[in-house]
Chain A
């Protein structure tokens, strides 16, 4: 099986804020792909360039060196800007800043209305987007009555109504309670699985990154490490040195090995650690 064609190609991108040549490169030669239908976590300490890179994916920021190509379109090509923004939708941290209308339904319709679509088409898209994020029962509610997780799902629906091929979410759960976080993650996983969307998920929570197909570690403006969660979290000491952490079960496993209890090096979930320590079928 040949590797699929990437949806987004980031090639040798360098970027710094401000005109001064003395300003440090925030992105210092990033090469990276996003594939159709994958859920990829971008992790890295503050200042590693994650958010700056995310803003390159829809042409909000343009590379000063190198290029970003989205579905064949170079983000520096002004004529492609709107097509790129329809292809790559962004969702941010604070749900309250993203919802503008009086009802959930109107909020989700905001984007497609701006595209100048037919009312019937807008209605179809709104209905489908709300269905996909499981918010149809709340369609007539005012957004401020919703929980944080519900608000983020509505914000996601607003982006889905533009029919993007890729969703980019910059710490969408950092202001949510645990249930809200689970709702948002479950929604993203179902969008990826059932509707083939590519999802770029920026997070500081390694437990969430471990649930993605692929993890990219950014450090000082470069891709420092990438692979499946299992491949990436195998580099525990290195990640800690970069100021990141490990999923809880992996932390316990690292500590157990240090104490002399043999457990596999690539444990990610509590279930795996339980299986390693108390194999099912045997009794202790």
Chain B
């Protein structure tokens, strides 16, 4: 497994005695190659949790393990942890500081002790990855880039670490629809190539589109750990009760079912919902007419079930 969190609790040292703790007895395991969404309303502990995953906040010993390393143990080399878990903060473009884009992206690997030539090579690869040609943008100042390009350059800075786990805190906030789609597509591609992705987001539509498993936090507690389709279809009341919403697509399918429409599966995206509705209206195989058959809604669920069904049950607060 890549990440294991066991009974993690945390209070900010600056918290008043009357303030609730930021994290309360959180436990979960993330396997290599997973795509996990970390959900919860503002203040539920998401950002606090992700900062424990690469040692920015030091957990008590024995509570957070990254590839077998006890992050909280004295003597654990945190640079080894950070090589494995790349963390993309909210609004990461505010942290660009080097004179050129290429130098900025190379900073991370260099800082982890990667040799100069190799660091630059990784930086070039990462820039190509996010759609910025290093020959065009590499020598520019980060401040000459547009907002969307700066976001991508900052993301490249973390990709250049080439870490097996990527944790992103609200990476699409403020991007336009196309920018969001491109970023989601990139994450999906990285995940297909084997990168473990943990995505923190307020957008349930994004979760529906890319993630297979969801962890739901509320007031510092983990209240659900289950496949995304199950979270939205079987635990919608829980999702709403913590202040989040299920995607409009799911609401639509459920409203149709309440009127008696026999729609199969748990479609999450508009495309999946349309395919499921079409199967009901037109009989089997309607999508064949277009040649591009949408993936059946149940497909995602089954994928998630493959690895997690037995262990992943919603965890409710005691």
Residues on A close to B: CB < 8 A? Answer: 45-47, 93, 147-149, 171, 174-180, 182, 204, 206-207, 243-245, 247-249, 251-252, 255-256, 258-261, 270-271, 273-274, 277-278, 280, 283-284
Contact = CB atoms under 8 A, between A and B. Distances in A.
Given A179-B244, A270-B251, A273-B252, A243 B259 contact: no
Going nearest first, the 10 A-B pairs with the smallest beta carbon separation are A255-B274, A243-B178, A248-B248, A251-B270, A278-B259, A179-B243, A270-B252, A259-B278, A245-B177, A178-B245
A259 to B, nearest CB: 4
Which of B176, B249, B278, B287 has the most chain A CB atoms inside 10 A of its CB?
Answer: B176
A193 B302 CA distance: 47
Contacts of A148: 42
Given A177-B243, A178-B243, A252-B249, A93 B174 contact: yes
Band of interface residues on B: 35 or more
Contacts of A277: 256, 261, 277, 281
25 contacts: A45-B178, A177-B243, A177-B244, A178-B204, A178-B244, A179-B245, A180-B42, A204-B175, A204-B177, A206-B177, A248-B247, A248-B252, A249-B248, A255-B273, A258-B274, A259-B287, A259-B290, A260-B282, A261-B282, A273-B252, A274-B255, A274-B256, A277-B256, A278-B259, A284-B260
A244 B55 CA distance: 38
A248 B270 contact: yes
A88 B296 CA distance: 49
B56 interface: no
Contacts of B243: 177-179
Contact of A178 (B179, B202, B271): B202
Given A260-B286, A261-B281, A274 B259 contact: yes
Given A46-B146, A179-B41, A278 B256 contact: yes
A237 B146 CA distance: 26
Interface of B: 41-43, 146-148, 170, 173-180, 202, 204-205, 243-245, 247-249, 251-252, 255-256, 259-262, 270-271, 273-275, 277-278, 281-282, 286-287, 289-290, 294
B174 to A, nearest CB: 5
B286 A261 contact: yes
A46 B147 contact: yes
B249 A278 contact: no
A147 B244 CA distance: 13
Contacts of B205: 248
Contact of A259 (B41, B251, B275): B275
A148 B146 CA distance: 26
A125 B179 CA distance: 41
Nearest to B244: A178
